A and B are shown apart, each in its own frame.
Chain A
Amino acid sequence: MQTLKINGKKYQIDVEAEMPLLWVLRDDLGLTGTKFGCGIGECGACTVHINGQAVRSCSFPVAAAVGTKITTIEGLSHHNKHPVQQAWLEEQVPQCGYCQSGQIMATAALLAKNPKPTAEEVEDNITNLCRCGTYVRVRRGISRSAELMRKQRV
């Protein structure tokens, strides 16, 4: 038996140590907001936070997640109140929406440690794939998120 702490809640599970966290979340715990896109850490659709760091959960064994603080898109905020979610609505970023959990989680982690990233830092850090082509709006969403976070801090 392993214990995972996800979104502030404890879950008891009994799975193979090497099972990627993604499949524990989706298939065993029903937290389907985290998406499967490639299984090799290329696309970022499965991004979650482990102790505040953005991690691609399709390539992260569950054993390594035991004892950490895991946050998924479901636990990012109540009622879409996180500044990244707010900015995403303001800029009307998503189209199909499938990659957006990952885009939002990656952005939230970046801005938490670097509240004022340069354009280059943004582009080097947010490498999540989007097939609908929302990148222009993701970029705007990120800079709007940073603005909203700064306002909240003041």
Chain B
Amino acid sequence: MKKQSFKRRTFIKTSTFAGAGLALGFTFVPLVNSATGGRVSVSGEKGAELGLWIRIAPDGTITLIAPSSEMGQGVNTSLSMILAEELEADWQSIKTETAPVNSDYKNPEQPMQLTGGSNSIKGFWEPLREVGAAAREMLITAAAQKWGVSVGACKAQSGYIIHQKSSRKLGYGELVEAAGKLDVPSDPTLKAPEEYSLVGKPVPRLDLPDKINGTAKFGIDVRLPGMLFATVRQSPVFEGTVLSHDETAAKSIRGVTAVVSIPNGIAVVANNTWRAKKGMEALNPQFQDGLTKGLDCQKVRKQFRKALDNKGKVELDSPKVLDLEYEVPYLAHATLEPMNCTASVTDNFCEVWAPTQNQEMSLDVTKEITGFDEDQIRIHTTLLGGGFGRRIEIDYVTQAVTISKNLGKPVQVIWMREEDMQHDFYRPASMSRFQISLGKNGLPEKWKNQLAAPSILKRYFAPLGWFGFDPTSTEGAKELPYAIPDFDFDFSMVDPGVPVGFWRSVGSSHNAFYIESAIDEASHLAQHNPFEYRRKLLAEKPRYLNVLEKVAQDAKWGRRLQKGHGLGIAIHKSFGSIVGAVIEISSNTSGRLELHNVWISVDCGKVVNPDIVRAQMEGGFIFGLSAAVGEEITLKAGRVEQSNFHDYSVLRMKSTPDISVSIIESGEDIGGVGEPSVPLAAPALANAIFSATGKRCRSLPFNKHGVKFV
């Protein structure tokens, strides 16, 4: 089951340094040689610790230098479990630190050092096991040499090497010095899955004790001696410029010390966040121009419709045809921790503390602003108060470094919620059309789907815009698991100018709504049961079929429902995992809908921590549900109309259904779990609304389009 091709690419390196015990890391040889691998040139040779993944200290403490940002997905715990499993470490001795910027920490599944794409376990499963196993073998060898016994007579267990015959044992901490002098085994033996004692178990998360008593440190909690607080105002029309402001008025506010220009806006600096906010109110900056001047939602919709009209529709010759138009709005990430970053720039050094998903671009932009070399910069990743893709962007880093450089003092930039809501990189709005014809058996014969949507990636890589190609726009719609003889998908790239970005589950966040609603409509037109209909279309796809049948079984699909109740079903694969969902809702006498229960089944290949998988399935579904029920970013005169949680409606506990999750361990390739349940919520709910009320909702959010919820 071990992928040899991958292993050959992995090179484990070792380093010992005074008093620090044994440290091991690995690097991906081809990446070091490639152009992208060379970008981050701070390497293991320059600083002994860089690029290393684990440290075993003489006191036995084991530190995993975690290569992923912890943003709630439990990655510090699950990656530690993989390492501790192979290392036979005492779980209580494990600590984590988030890695600095170095190409050795880059996820092999990602183009740069960032956390995203539900890729952490997928990318680090193999290398972390190898590092753990290599360290274990070195510790065993060190003990065997000390005792003068054979390696085979010793075993590793809970942080000790034990000589079984004599019952002698030595702790890892006592062995690190000797182990550090040994050669790194080139081909360490990995444990067989049936020998696992941690992987596959619902191990409690390492980060939670600090998250229930206020000691967990998020970006916004960084405190430095002499640190100032800044807040920003950016042009409400995207990419406009500052026209005027009243600096004297701002500086008359107690505690305000400076006013600093930033890209597309202005910052007020004070000795307290609230005073900076008061200073900003007094500064009263006015803006002019901008990319989206005059834009509103009707104009955006017109652009999509025009692009689709230009493509035309396919004429279908069948007694049973569907001609559908679906659409979704822009959405905000609204991470509960607003955008923030702390920077301290001196004459020759810069430190940055950022709740970021994107270490590499944080370094790049800091280099650009300061003109410093990489070894004059340290990027510290703090805990993230939510990421959801928003923190792949680095605008807040740019601002903190700019302001700190200007003042020569440590500065924490904090956005007010209003700024956060109005200067997001939004989930793209889009529109999708279908012309579907059904054959005699009721199943789709022809499936013609046209999508009009903005491109996220062209901001990163302009040529994609020239060629109208962006896999993040089309994922989840371009290829379907369903057996449809005549399938055609067409994508039109439309750019209304609103900044768009990666929003948890990205293209699947809209495409699953389109596809799984359309297939549901087809099943009803054919007068088939929506579950059985999908089953027939997935007959040749056993993994999908298992997921679908499991969720239908859990939801007792086909049972007699109470009056006013409805069930909706959906299935979708994203980020390597297949998720099925059923939701039960009811319509009360006043026509309001209540969400009762959700059943989710997931096949993510292998499972490291089932409780974390469950938590991600629950949380992702709720994230999707929140958007489906009530979230919408609208534009008027080129600016976002919403400003805070009073007008950007996020789901609360009262409206949240109960959720139960079944995990199918297929043993297939590892899939992600952070995102794949998000796309299911909107279509499952749309299909349930149809089932309960006969009303088909083709645009989101439902509560803005005629559906009321309890």
Interface of A with B (CB < 8 Å)?
15-16, 19-20, 23, 26-28, 30-40, 42-43, 45, 72-74, 76-77, 80, 85, 88-89, 92-101, 104, 122-124, 126-139
Contact = CB atoms under 8 A, between A and B. Distances in A.
Q: In which size bucket is the chain B interface?
A: 35 or more
B618 A73 contact: no
Contact of B653 (A20, A74, A88, A139): A139
A20 B653 CA distance: 26
A35 B220 contact: yes
B331 to A, nearest CB: 12
A113 B221 CA distance: 31
A124 B214 contact: no
Interface in B362-407: 383-388
24 contacts: A19-B272, A23-B272, A32-B220, A35-B220, A36-B338, A37-B337, A37-B338, A40-B645, A40-B646, A43-B336, A72-B214, A73-B213, A80-B209, A89-B204, A93-B208, A94-B212, A96-B72, A96-B336, A98-B218, A104-B212, A131-B386, A131-B623, A133-B656, A134-B615
A30 B257 CA distance: 20
A98 B204 contact: no
B208 A97 contact: yes
A136 B595 CA distance: 13
A96 B382 CA distance: 12
B335 interface: yes
B336 A135 contact: no
Given A89-B204, A92-B208, A133-B626, A98 B646 contact: no
Contacts of B213: 33, 73-74, 76-77, 80, 85
B250 to A, nearest CB: 16
A137 B271 CA distance: 38
B646 A42 contact: yes
Interface in B580-619: 611, 615, 618-619
A20 B274 contact: yes
A27 B619 contact: no
Interface of B: 71-74, 204-205, 207-218, 220-221, 223, 229, 254, 271-275, 277, 333-338, 383-388, 414, 416-417, 611, 615, 618-623, 626, 644-646, 650-654, 656, 658-659
B710 to A, nearest CB: 11
A73 B209 CA distance: 13
Contact of A89 (B208, B216, B229): B208
Contacts of B654: 123-124, 127
A70 B333 CA distance: 33
Nearest to B209: A80
Contacts of A128: 652-653
A97 to B, nearest CB: 3
A57 to B, nearest CB: 11
Contact of B211 (A37, A97, A127, A139): A97
Contact of B274 (A23, A92, A93, A131): A23
B214 A101 contact: yes
A42 B645 contact: yes
B335 A40 contact: no
A44 B386 CA distance: 16
Contacts of A38: 417, 644-645
Contact of A100 (B211, B623, B651): B211
A92 B386 contact: no
Contacts of B220: 32, 35-36
B273 A36 contact: yes
Nearest to A139: B653
Contacts of B275: 19
Given A32-B214, A43-B336, A97-B211, A126 B653 contact: yes
A123 B659 CA distance: 16
Contacts of A28: 272
Contact of B644 (A20, A42, A76, A138): A42
Contacts of A136: 618, 622, 656, 658-659
Contacts of A40: 417, 644-646
Given A26-B273, A40-B646, A132 B619 contact: yes
A79 to B, nearest CB: 8
B653 A133 contact: no
A30 B214 CA distance: 11
Contacts of B611: 92
B337 A98 contact: yes
B72 A27 contact: no
Contacts of A15: 272
A108 B189 CA distance: 50
A93 B544 CA distance: 30
A133 B621 contact: yes
Given A39-B416, A97-B212, A98-B337, 11 more contacts: A37-B417, A42-B646, A43-B645, A74-B213, A74-B215, A95-B72, A98-B385, A100-B211, A128-B653, A135-B651, A136-B659
A133 B618 contact: yes
Given A19-B274, A23-B273, A39-B417, A96 B212 contact: no
Most B CB within 10 A of own CB, among A37, A77, A101: A37
Given A16-B254, A92-B615, A138-B653, A97 B385 contact: yes
Nearest to A16: B254
A123 B72 CA distance: 23
Nearest to B619: A133
Most A CB within 10 A of own CB, among B208, B220, B384: B208
Contact of A34 (B214, B335, B384): B214
A66 B332 CA distance: 38
A2 to B, nearest CB: 15
A129 B645 contact: yes
Contacts of B618: 133-134, 136-137
A111 B365 CA distance: 48
Nearest to B615: A95
Contacts of B387: 96
A19 B278 CA distance: 10
Nearest to B654: A123
B385 A94 contact: no
Most A CB within 10 A of own CB, among B217, B333, B622: B622
Nearest to B622: A133
B172 to A, nearest CB: 27
Contacts of A101: 214
Contacts of A32: 214, 217, 220-221, 223
Contacts of B254: 16
Nearest to A120: B654
Nearest to A40: B644
A64 to B, nearest CB: 15
B596 to A, nearest CB: 13
A141 B670 CA distance: 31
A85 B210 CA distance: 11
A47 to B, nearest CB: 12
B211 A27 contact: no
A4 to B, nearest CB: 15
A126 to B, nearest CB: 6
A54 to B, nearest CB: 15
A35 B211 CA distance: 12
